[in-house]
Amino acid sequence: MEYIEDILRRYLPEEVVPICTRWIVQKNIQLKITRGRASRLGDYIPVRGGLAHRITINHDLNPYAFLITFIHEVAHLFVFEKYGTRPLPHGKEWKHQYRELLSWFMAKKIFPQDLEDAIIDSLKNPGAGSCTDARLTRLLMQYNPGHAAHIVHLETLQEGDLFRLSHSRNRSVYSRGKRIRTRFRCKEKNTGTIFLIHGIAEVEKAS
């Protein structure tokens, strides 16, 4: 457990490390810290054939965003244990479990007041991820270490604006297209390939 705690201290607020470590050990969770992904912050794969539950979380999240994402994925695990695969991924069962878990952490006064207020609003109708709540995501972004003013959300750009994904290694340039629900149709400049990128994705304007 000490080894797990040492790793979690790099990503989580210190006061939540013990409870998150217990979850990992007691629930047999394989936690994988991944590269930054524009399309998702984390995901959950249920246990299969005696293997561990698998949760992945992006490495570049600040401690508050990492904690919220971890809670989001653990809520999926708890729902799977209770109901199997019958419920919808973010249906009423998950919403109830997520509210219950996150409310417990809220009672510990872990989050700064501005984040706490935004979380309370988001819990009225939790979505598929913290990245679907624009207000909460913008506030979480401000707590990123060394947050740069030139990094913005894709949804703030105009149609036709060129940009790079701030967490991408290949530094490809895209052109922002039309909105399709929560995502934007974006064309990679060099190849012409079309990607659907979430409006909350962090980007840098390009020329």
Alpha-carbon span 20 to 4, nearest angstrom: 9
Domain at 151-205, CATH from 1.20.120, 2.30.30, 1.25.40, 2.40.160: 2.30.30
Percent of the chain with pLDDT over 90: 56
User: Could you report the per-residue pLDDT of 76-104, keeping only the tens digit for each?
Assistant: 999 999 999 889 988 999 999 999 999 99
Confidence check: pLDDT of 132 > 70: no
Q: Where are the domains of the chain?
A: 2-141, 151-205
Amino acid at position 133, single letter: D
Query: With contact defined as beta carbons under 8 Å apart, do 41 and 69 qualify?
Result: yes
Residue 82 Cα to chain centre, angstroms: 23
Q: What is the pTM of this model?
A: 0.76
Q: Tokens for 162?
A: 């060129």
Confidence check: pLDDT of 136 > 80: yes
Which of 8-12, 67-71, 178-182 shows the lowest mean pLDDT across its residues? Answer: 178-182
CA quadruple 93, 96, 101, 102: dihedral, nearest 10: 130
User: Could you report the per-residue pLDDT of 51-72, keeping only the tens digit for each?
Assistant: 889 999 998 889 999 999 999 9
Query: Biggest alpha carbon distance in the chain?
Result: 51
